[in-house]
Structure 1
């Protein structure tokens, strides 16, 4: 395929949209020049197979998360708790990730650079969809972890402060943050979404070549909420382990309490491992976007692989259905 364009990569950071001649400008220590007569191949077989895998993975994730949502909504002990709305929010966002973000990202790469997208699709459509749902997922998870931490460490304060209004605010906050973050690339302010002439995919770049801009944006979108979630779950895990150890040192005379502490530790460990899988799925892509955007912009296979990783956690979340539905055994952590 002859794009009749020039792609100059010198820093992996496109500083402007392609002009009428299809020219992209990058500034970097790495030089990659694609002449105006360069022919780009279509979607490779490996990329095609990987994108089909992404579609299949998300096709499985939608019904799996719907089953998880039904289990949470119909489970009486959870339905009576204040925090169930936060759980439902997380699952609903996972459904949106599997049903919308995953397929759209996959189809764009499957179509390849030869397929013309609607005008402003990457800047507006992709920005407002992908960079709204994904940050909302991370912040919803962070607030759910904070809610569980407060319910465990400060039960009296929790009952007084975490009213229906405060829970409603915790549901709205991730959406407000996500819409604010997506407004930056949609308005092409500081960062923007452009289409790669090599892969056909949409990717995030700074408006002006500046690594700090991308670092700040990715920090607010990914690093900050995941750090909050990690801190909360680490504290919960250590507390559960210390309480169980103390009970065992006291000869464990109260069998009921010992069983409850063991069960609590198992649940907390499962949630923490789920969070680690979450980080394993999204952090490589975030690091690539921040420090090596030129690789994502020129390799459809690597882009497809990282997109599969970032979308797989939403599909894999249903593996924690059992521990979540057993959370009523320690109602003190989830009210």
Structure 2
């Protein structure tokens, strides 16, 4: 059996340390109240610096990742990220940007984000995209909250979200966090959404149907347009999970299939760093009738085409007409 870091521990052994002779040892009790201070050793292993380095290097060799070989099922953490993207993501304009820095220093970043949102909207067939969600599930929640706000603006109360049993696993949790009751729709023996089960579940309590296409089974919903038509005929919205958007790129667009809201996993389809490789991202796209409910601030241009990067204040009212409009029919 391989040695653990605790097996290597020897009392009194430690790594290299630096100490300024002008300053004495820091006593935590000078800075913190007694209650949060630990009174007993926590049992950390005592090893030399080289032992620590060799231990973690050995663990790294035992781990399997995309640098070691193929991972065909495609876990979120196992997608391939081109190495050249890492130094780009580390550029000062990205890595050192701060929410409180002067607006006059941010036009370049705003320009890039403005065009990125436009490109994602075009690729996915949506009308608008917000880049604010910080992860895929956060994008799902954002779309659900916009859905809730749209129904509330029309004075309609609906409290159910239908989720296929082959959907991305975070869908039910996101629906619950948004305040909805989640009900599952079974799939057929072929792994596709059961249209009869969907029809039986659709009523005036259903706000939306969440659909992952292709599903976690790896199957494309060939009846997607019929599903969209039934959902819209019920006055509900169709929320697409873009977890597997990489299989659709350049072939079909969810927005053309009747999807009203779409969350994208950029670490899957667009090779952005994820988890230990960098911050996550979960852009959320919507059709035009949901534009007034996009989270703010939003980067905009004025009617003359002048790039003024207008940013809406936190207490702004919706930015356009359309709060009472219905979603377009699929087809």
TM-score (ref. length: structure 1): 0.26
Quick check: which one's helix share is greater?
1
Higher relative contact order (CA 8 A, sep 6+): 1
Quick check: which one's strand share is greater?
2
